[in-house]
Chain A
Amino acid sequence: MLKKLQVSVGNILDFPPEVAGEGPKITITGRRQILVENYVSIVDFTEEGIRLETVEGDICFSGKGLALKVILSTELRIEGELSSLSFVRGEIK
């Protein structure tokens, strides 16, 4: 109920979705740099793939030589050669 109200107010006031909702914000620059904000936790990571838990399901990044350059509690920066991005499980809230 509170969530719906928050989204409705956000829509009326023309807030950007990342401010109104709790979903992740993913910024990809070229193929080498990815910034993920509003993630919940790191599920798994290797050089070939990184899986992050968010409120709207898990996000999988796959590629080559992936590394977590900077990790903070709410955002992280990934560098490496990105080949695909997919959502696993969860639902759009």
Chain B
Amino acid sequence: MLERFRAFWQGRIFFMAIGDQLASFLNQILKDGVIVYHTQKSKRGMRAQVKLADFRRLRRAARQTHTRVHIMAKYGWPFIAARWWRRKGLLTGLAIIALVLTVLSQLVLSISVTGNHNVIAADVLQRAEKLGLKNWAYSQDLNLNQIAKALQDQLPDAAWVGVERNGTGVLIKISEKIRPTIPLEAGNLVASRAGIIKEIMVIQGIPQIHEGETVRAGQVLITQALNPSPPTTTSAPNAVPNPAVINPKSSQLTAPTSMARGFVRARVWYSAEKQVPLVEDTIEESGKLAIGWGIKFGSRVIMVTTQDSPFEQNNKEVTSHSLKLWRNWRFPVEVIRVKYKELHSVHLERSIAEARQLAEATARTEVQQKMTPGVLVVVENVKTIPNISGAERVRVEVETFEDLAVYANP
């Protein structure tokens, strides 16, 4: 490789020597200190290579031995350089192109804005231009972090502004602020669940429902008064205190005087259905454990103890312990702990009573999760749904009496 590079750098001349005294010619040029490469005789004469610098020294030997030397080819950098030197226009053109490309690559040629919905891109570009970020600006002079900070300060709707340079393009990334939306029902009392209204007591505002009416979740129950009036002090003697309304200091919901206030008590139903099969095959953990230790290097794992799981069916938990050397540099070899938990198939056969009991318990738990905590349960019905072969299906229905009125989600 080095030899080829040296030949290319020095330049080689491939020549053909024709004459009767080729051996003498060769000896003569060797005496003159010329190094000859790849010498081979052919029918016409002798083919050989010499360095470009040695070629002139062949002349004397050729004259003395009556040998004619013909150049067959030229190889190497000196010939390429000479050829290029003759094409000065081309060289100048290449140099100009390189110069223009170098200069242009240092300029900002395009600016784009992404991530904006409410912020107008033209406005962002105009503000950026005032800060110096414009087309044909010298990019090295731009302090992009400073521009991003200034843009963020100038745009109230932008939560974050980032300016990124990719070659000649500059990308202004905007993350807009998500403003909280003010609901239409702000200040109104709405239904937290669906139910049938039994009692309404309006302290302030205009009722939108009447007793006996069925309401949907989210339906407006009492709207805020258009002309705020001082709250009335009357209240139902058997009313359950509503902390959000009566004692506003104890809650985050501080009710201004114009907000609707009152109670709306209703019958509310909750239900859940569960089905439990009489015969069931499941896979459960048996409780048996096996622990193995190993070494992990990159993606390769070598288990030192308990190479394979001793159980037929198992759950595998792998915990990796790596040595932290400094900051986020970690030792590449990690110690891993593999916990094999045995799984076994369980065949369950339940009696009808057992299945029914389990379905009822599960359904009741689900209903209780849906219910508002601490409400009064009026009626609870447990219904077994018939005509299901191989399974027991139970429906639990609970009726409660509770206050539905809540302020709309701010």
Name A's B-contacting residues (CB within 8 A): 41-47, 67-73
Contacts and interface: CB of A to CB of B under 8 A. Distances in A.
A71 B30 contact: yes
B40 A72 contact: no
Nearest to B25: A42
Contact of B26 (A42, A46, A67, A70): A42
Contact of B23 (A43, A69, A70): A43
Interface stretch (B31-39, B81-89, B90-98, B349-357): B31-39
Contacts of A47: 40-42
B27 interface: yes
A83 to B, nearest CB: 17
Given A43-B23, A47-B41, A68 B36 contact: yes
A39 B160 CA distance: 83
Contacts of A68: 36, 38-40, 48
Contacts of B41: 45-47
Please report whether the interface of chain A is mostly helix, strand, loop or mixed according to DSSP. strand
A71 B40 contact: no
Interface in B345-395: none
Given A45-B23, A69-B39, 16 more contacts: A42-B26, A42-B30, A45-B22, A47-B40, A67-B38, A68-B36, A68-B40, A68-B48, A69-B37, A69-B38, A71-B35, A71-B36, A71-B39, A72-B30, A73-B30, A73-B33
A70 B35 contact: yes
Please report whether the interface of chain B is mostly helix, strand, loop or mixed according to DSSP. mixed
Interface residues of B, number: 16
Q: Identify the interface centre among B27, B39, B48: most chain A CB within 10 Å of its CB.
A: B39
A40 to B, nearest CB: 9
A41 B35 CA distance: 14
Contacts of B40: 47, 67-68
A20 B328 CA distance: 67
Nearest to B31: A73
Interface in B36-53: 36-42, 48
A45 B48 CA distance: 13
B39 A67 contact: yes
Q: Identify the interface centre among A43, A44, A45: most chain B CB within 10 Å of its CB.
A: A45
A45 B46 CA distance: 10
Given A46-B41, A47-B41, A41 B36 contact: no
B36 A70 contact: yes
A42 B37 CA distance: 15
A43 B22 CA distance: 9
A42 B23 contact: yes
Query: Lowest 7 CB-CB distances: which A-B pairs, in order?
Result: A68-B39, A67-B40, A71-B36, A41-B27, A73-B30, A46-B41, A42-B23
B27 A70 contact: no
12 contacts: A41-B27, A42-B27, A44-B23, A45-B26, A46-B41, A47-B41, A47-B42, A68-B40, A70-B35, A70-B37, A72-B35, A73-B30
Contacts of B22: 45
A46 B36 CA distance: 16
A47 B23 CA distance: 13
A73 B31 CA distance: 6
A78 B47 CA distance: 15
Contacts of B31: 73
Contacts of B39: 45, 67-69, 71
Nearest to A72: B35
Contacts of A67: 38-40
Contacts of B37: 69-71
Q: Identify the interface centre among A44, A47, A71, A72: most chain B CB within 10 Å of its CB.
A: A71
Nearest to B50: A71
A47 B47 CA distance: 12
A8 B46 CA distance: 43
A70 B30 CA distance: 11
A12 B48 CA distance: 44
A69 B7 CA distance: 14
